[in-house]
Amino acid sequence: MFEKDELIMCGGHGVCRVVNVTDNPFDKRDKVRKYYVLEPVFEKGSTVYTPVDNDKVVMRRIMSRKEAQDLVDRITQIETVWIQEEKGREQMYKEAIRTYDCRSLVQIIKTLYLRKQDRLREGKKVLSSDEQYLRKAEELLYSEMSLALSIPREDVEGYIKEAVHRQENMVSG
């Protein structure tokens, strides 16, 4: 069970702060079922109520500073994934986004970034579905990493690129 003021990832809402754990706000007679009262960190003014025992929504603690730094340190080793069949590819993207699996989000970002570069180099347009999944994966990963690393969300991409550049220079130098 999460505690008040804890930061968690909550399905469909991204990073949320646990504001309270309370009785059922929708049925005052239900004294058994407890609910989280969540505040999405990057959606000011929103409140989310979800049962503590909700097994349909992915909820997990955000990664620690060490876990975030370890992920950044391993980014060059994380393989891209390309599934030729569009439905299978889209299903993989949806699953990674639904589960908030950081390693899978990195795979999506790397894969779609490289695909985007290839298409632009070939004079082709970037597919809107690719752009949509890239933005969503970046939003989820960068929001969580921003809080874990204590840096502004808009600086996370640059932070990662700089770390990758250092890693590549260490390997080649």
Average pLDDT, stretch 14-23? 94
Last residue of a domain, one of 16, 35, 61: 61
What pLDDT, on the 0 to 100 scale, is given for residue 23? 86
In a domain, 1, yes or no: no
In a domain, 2, yes or no: no
Instruction: Please say if the pLDDT value at position 7 is more than 90.
Output: yes
CB 139 within 8 A of CB 40: no
User: What does the pLDDT average to over 103-123?
Assistant: 92
- Does the structure show a pLDDT above 70 at 173? no
pLDDT band at 39 (very low <50, low <70, confident <90, very high): very high
> What's the structural domain count of the chain?
2
Both 46 and 85 in one domain: the answer is no
The answer to whether residue 5 scores a pLDDT higher than 70 is yes
49 and 110 co-located in one domain? no
pLDDT tens, position by position, 124-163: 998 898 999 999 999 999 999 999 999 999 999 999 999 8
Helix (H) or strand (E) holding 68: helix 65-74
Q: What does the mean pLDDT of the chain come to?
A: 90
Residue % of the chain over a pLDDT of 90? 62
Tokens describing residue 19: 């504001």
Q: Are strands 34-40 and 59-61 parallel, antiparallel or unpaired?
A: unpaired
Domain containing residue 106: CATH number: 1.20.58.1290
Alpha-carbon span 44 to 41, nearest angstrom = 7
DSSP reduced 3-state for 88: helix
Question: Does the residue 72 lie in any domain?
Answer: yes
Range of the domain at 100: 65-172
Reading across the β-sheet that carries 14-23, which strands appear in turn? 48-51, 34-40, 14-23, 7-10, 59-61
| 88: confidence class by pLDDT, cuts 50, 70, 90 | confident
What's the Cα-to-Cα distance from 24 to each of 29, 32, 93, 97, 123, rounded to whole Å? 8, 8, 34, 28, 55
